[in-house]
Amino acid sequence: MRDIFEDIFSNQPLDPMESARRSLRPKLREKFFTQATIGEAAEGGYPVLLDGKPVRTPGRRILAAPTRTLAEAVAGEWQTLDKFIDPLQMPLTRLSNSIIDGVTGAEASVAAEVQKYLGTDLVFYRAAHPEGLVAKQGAHWDPVLAFARETLGARFMLAADITHVTQPDHAIAAASEAIPRDPWRLGAVHVVTTLTGSALIALAVASGAMTVDAAWAAAHVDEDWNMDFWGRDEVAMARRAFRLTEMQAAARVLDALH
């Protein structure tokens, strides 16, 4: 079981477009089990079982989630598979692998990566024109700054276009206090941060102050504005759809642990 799991999930492409560019992607394995369930809680949480047997992450750790609800959701991805096991269709499983193997035991370094975004957060850098874009950025991003100010006690400065502005140390320190330290919430916040380019958006989602839909829209203000003028790129939209599933998986983890 361990070898099968490692073979399926190790070195997978990051998104469908990358997958299409790679000729080395392994052929999908056929579904080899009948029932996906969860076991009794143990030290690592509730393990995912395939035909009663625990499976392991690519790092050879037990695939287990900290809550029953979350473990059932991961198991549900396996149970709903049809004939083949396609990791690209299993965002919660992939995120669980990443958290268990890459975040647990490395919380300090992962939190530091999130903190770096607080110095150059997406919502700080505003367009000077056109007026429509300026208004859209304000509508989506001002609530994020209000959350930082009113909930986190962090007052940040705005910048014009791409001109760098050094943010106050006290603001970064205040916002950093809200970065989760437990590996599961931290891993989910890290995913939202990297997908949106904004640690503040991620912290707002983690606190329940912002929905995942609002966060996704805020992260794509500029992109949506450009698409309104230049049209949609189907390749880019496919990648974006895949990234949205990653975002939704992270939000699901945060909701389960809120």
Q: What is the mean pLDDT of residues 83-94?
A: 93
pLDDT band at 1 (very low <50, low <70, confident <90, very high): very low
CA quadruple 72, 78, 79, 81: dihedral, nearest 10: 150
Q: Is the Cβ–Cβ distance between 199 and 193 less than 8 Å?
A: yes
Give the per-residue pLDDT at 107. 98
* 25 pLDDT tier (thresholds 50, 70, 90): low
> What's the sign of the alpha-carbon dihedral 173, 179, 180, 181?
negative
Average pLDDT over residues 173-201: 98
| Percent of the chain's residues with pLDDT above 70 | 90
User: Which range (6-20, 26-40, 63-77) has the least confidence?
Assistant: 6-20
pLDDT, tens digit (0-9, with 9 covering 90-100), for 121-159: 999 999 999 999 999 999 999 999 999 999 999 999 999
Would you say 184 and 257 are in contact if contact means Cβ atoms under 8 Å apart? yes
20 or 82, greater pLDDT? 82
Ordered by where they begin, the domains of the chain are 2-86 (3.30.2180.10), 107-257 (1.10.3580.10)
Answer whether residue 21 shows pLDDT above 80.
Answer: no
pTM, to two decimals = 0.89
Exposure string of 129-151, with b = 16+ CB inside 10 Å and e = fewer, is: eeeebeebbeebbebbbebbeee
